[in-house]
Amino acid sequence: MTKVAKHTTDSQAFLELLSHISKELAAALDLSVVLERVLFLSVKNVGATSGSIIVLNDQGKPVDSAIISQGKVFDKTTEQLQVTLDQGLAGWVVRNKQSALVEDTDKDKRWLQRSYDNAEDTGPKSSVSAPLLVRDRMVGVMTLSHPTPGFFTEEHLTLVQAIADQAGIAALNGRLYGESQRTARVMSALAGSADAISASLQLDEVLQNILEQISQALEVEAVSLALIDTETNELEYRAATGKGTENIIGLRIKMGQGIAGWVAQEGETVIVPDVNIDPRFYPKVDDRTGFQTRSIVCAPIRSKGQVIGVLQALNPINPFGEDAILVMEGIGNLAGTAIGHAQLFEQIEIARRRYLELFESSVDPIMVTDFEGRIIEANHPTILLTGHDEEALHTLNIHHIHQVDWNIVGKKFENLKTDDPLTYEAKLLTKTEEDIFIEVYVRPVDIDGTAHLQWILRDISERKNLDQIREDLTHMIYHDLRSPLANVSSGLDVLVSILPEDSDPTFKSVLDIAIRSTERVHRLASSLLDTSRLEAGQKIGKTLSVDPNDLVKEAVEAIAPSTTNRKQKVIISMPSKLPKVKVDVDMIKRVLINLLENASKYNSPKGDISIGSKKKGSWVQMWVEDSGRGISEKDHNRIFEKFERVQSNATSGSKGLGIGLAFCKLAVEGHGGKIWVDSEIDKGSRFTFTLPIA
């Protein structure tokens, strides 16, 4: 055959091949089928012994391929193809976007020896490679080879380039079709998962649903889920499905430890095709479960932008691809929201249970009413105290339960429309008509967005009884003591007056003691009476204009025996001329005596006491100061209350009732004045009060 004739025959064959190929390309959409058919025809018609087509995604990563050697089709993982692309001739073609003709592969550095090359034939080869380009977009690369060096010519190159141009469009279509199919699959899987995952609010169920959705979407041997414990900064496995995986539940690993720990820390999804060659892999988990992990896809679970845990799918039936990442990330995001909701629900449930427990375990009756006063909730103690059963309570109004103080709560509870709680004392209206006194504590509460009232009733009958006993005692002391006491006093006075001048001085001193003691009892009885009168709101008795200095002198005289006895110095400081004050003389004298007695009693023996008065505006100010143990600031107000004593005094043996200062306060305030204390522990105390100028 002449050269021209051969050329014509070749051209004819080329054209036939091209038309054949374009028909093949038009017939199928499935990318792998297209690739295999095109490669098979090309290898056969060009006379090559082996060949490959690698399809790339837009990031230049291999997504599909067809490889034929000696008429056999090979399976290659995308990782192996990546090596070819990084180091082999195909890579050079892709990077340079141009076809290449290699006459002898042994002499061309662009060639990489591959396992699917003919094993026996390691001699030089001829190769031709062309890029699959669609309008400058790199879609893949096609390579053909032959064992004879120099086998391929420029014409072969042109032909391969022509096939590659056609195959490019088909590969792109196939790739896009594949991608859209996959996206559709993933989307419908995720849509189904969203419903299933959010179907429950119970955390354990939510976790189980998440695992089920992953198992359904990816064909894997096991799935597990771990959540971050923010307190310890560890990951705790909370749920798992698959052989032996129940042993994993409760296992904790540190952040950054293992593949799960790495994902939790970095917040990135990873596919590890072979865990044995990944240094991040932490085999201790397998040791515990007895499961043998080969390959993992692991994705973070996010809630409100924060990584709160990880999802892991292990050992797929087919290697993990893009789909696995999309599914895991999609479910990871859904899971975050669902877990967040379930955790919130759990917290609300706990709070609700705690409230219920408090409500029921309270010893005080608690009720909830609406703003009409209708009882909506009542705890067990309400039933016990009122005698009404639960059913009856729900038909009653709060005013059936106790005498509501309408002055305090306002008509239609209007004073409770602010957030402030109110308290008052009232009588409980029990079914048995028994007298029970209660303290009522009522405040507005919000229940399901509507304003309600919460009522807490405290049985104070016992306290009331004690108050009554004290009251009765006070009256008894006054009425039953005063007249006999007056008789004792006058009897003693008579005795003093008839005592002969030359009698034994012992008689005189015994009588003096008796007189002073009687005076003290008399003062105490009068102060008790004044206290109960003033407390009941009565005004002070007859007032006279007196010189404050006289009051001071008489008070100091009255306590002189006890201060002298204890060797305490009493320093009196007062201006020579002071305006007169208008007071109930006996009462104010008792105030001064009370303060002086305390200043002596709570002072050290030999301690100093000073007493004085001065004019201050339209008032005369009087004070009693000591150098004793002092009073801590927290007790400054309390000691003016009835029966209140500073704990250390009460236990240190110093006697008293805690009534003296309460009387002083009532007496001074009854005169329109004020009384207060300035004192520090161990620095002494100064009691000051004011009286109106006459």
Residues that bind ligand ADP (CB under 6 A): 598-599, 602, 626, 628-629, 631, 639, 645-646, 649, 656-662, 685
- Name the residue nearer to ligand ADP (CB basis): 172 or 528: 528
| Closest distance of CB 523 from ligand ADP, Å | 12
Residue pair 84/91 in contact by the 8 Å Cβ criterion: yes
| Closest distance of CB 519 from ligand ADP, Å | 17
Q: How many CB atoms sit inside 10 A of residue 188's CB?
A: 11
Maximum separation of any 2 CA atoms in the chain, in Å: 179
| Closest distance of CB 472 from ligand ADP, Å | 20
Closest to 343 (Cα-Cα) out of 233, 211, 250, 204: 204
Token look-up 């990442």 returns 325
* Rounded Cα gap, residues 99 and 131, in angstroms: 6
Any idea of the CA torsion for 393, 397, 402, 408, to the nearest 10 degrees? Answer: 140
Report the Cα 389 to chain-centroid distance in Å: 39
- Name the residue nearer to ligand ADP (CB basis): 506 or 651: 651
- Name the residue nearer to ligand ADP (CB basis): 310 or 599: 599
| Closest distance of CB 452 from ligand ADP, Å | 44
| Closest distance of CB 408 from ligand ADP, Å | 31
* Rounded Cα gap, residues 511 and 342, in angstroms: 87
- Name the residue nearer to ligand ADP (CB basis): 251 or 659: 659
- Name the residue nearer to ligand ADP (CB basis): 424 or 623: 623
Amino acid letter, residue 645: R
| Closest distance of CB 532 from ligand ADP, Å | 15
- Angle at alpha carbon of residue 4, lines to 3 and 10, rounded to 5°: 90
| Closest distance of CB 544 from ligand ADP, Å | 26
* Rounded Cα gap, residues 593 and 663, in angstroms: 12
Interaxial angle between packed helices 154-197 and 3-27, expressed in degrees from 0 to 180 and rounded to the nearest 10:
10
Any idea of the CA torsion for 35, 41, 44, 45, to the nearest 10 degrees? Answer: -130
Contacts 24+ apart (CB under 8 A), 145-149: 145/48, 145/49, 145/50, 145/51, 145/105, 145/117, 146/47, 146/48, 146/49, 147/49, 147/118, 147/121, 147/123, 149/103, 149/104, 149/105, 149/106, 149/123, 149/124, 149/125
- Name the residue nearer to ligand ADP (CB basis): 235 or 662: 662
* Rounded Cα gap, residues 620 and 592, in angstroms: 14
| Closest distance of CB 623 from ligand ADP, Å | 11
Burial class for 112, CB neighbours closer than 10 Å (0-12, 13-18, 19+): middle
Residue pair 98/132 in contact by the 8 Å Cβ criterion: no
* Rounded Cα gap, residues 523 and 438, in angstroms: 36
- Name the residue nearer to ligand ADP (CB basis): 430 or 654: 654
- Name the residue nearer to ligand ADP (CB basis): 55 or 662: 662
Q: Report helix, strand or coil for 513.
A: helix
- Name the residue nearer to ligand ADP (CB basis): 293 or 598: 598
Closest to 649 (Cα-Cα) out of 628, 666, 664, 670: 628
- Name the residue nearer to ligand ADP (CB basis): 129 or 649: 649
| Closest distance of CB 580 from ligand ADP, Å | 27
Report the Cα 29 to chain-centroid distance in Å: 56
| Closest distance of CB 583 from ligand ADP, Å | 20
| Closest distance of CB 632 from ligand ADP, Å | 10
| Closest distance of CB 630 from ligand ADP, Å | 6
- Name the residue nearer to ligand ADP (CB basis): 437 or 602: 602
Closest to 234 (Cα-Cα) out of 279, 269, 266, 265: 265
- Name the residue nearer to ligand ADP (CB basis): 348 or 572: 572
List all residues 6 or more positions away from 543 whose beta carbon is below 8 Å from its beta carbon.
582, 583, 584, 671
- Name the residue nearer to ligand ADP (CB basis): 24 or 626: 626
| Closest distance of CB 229 from ligand ADP, Å | 53
Q: The dihedral of CA 342, 344, 347, 352: what is its sign?
A: negative
- Name the residue nearer to ligand ADP (CB basis): 76 or 629: 629
| Closest distance of CB 573 from ligand ADP, Å | 18
Q: How many CB atoms sit inside 10 A of residue 36's CB?
A: 19
| Closest distance of CB 603 from ligand ADP, Å | 7
* Rounded Cα gap, residues 127 and 263, in angstroms: 44
| Closest distance of CB 646 from ligand ADP, Å | 3
Residue pair 568/651 in contact by the 8 Å Cβ criterion: no
| Closest distance of CB 610 from ligand ADP, Å | 12
- Name the residue nearer to ligand ADP (CB basis): 530 or 626: 626
- Name the residue nearer to ligand ADP (CB basis): 426 or 639: 639
Q: The dihedral of CA 597, 603, 609, 612: what is its sign?
A: negative
Token look-up 């009387």 returns 663
- Name the residue nearer to ligand ADP (CB basis): 89 or 677: 677
Residue pair 62/47 in contact by the 8 Å Cβ criterion: no
Beta-bridge mates of residue 68? 51, 73
Q: Nearest-CB residue to ligand ADP? A: 656
Residue pair 275/281 in contact by the 8 Å Cβ criterion: yes
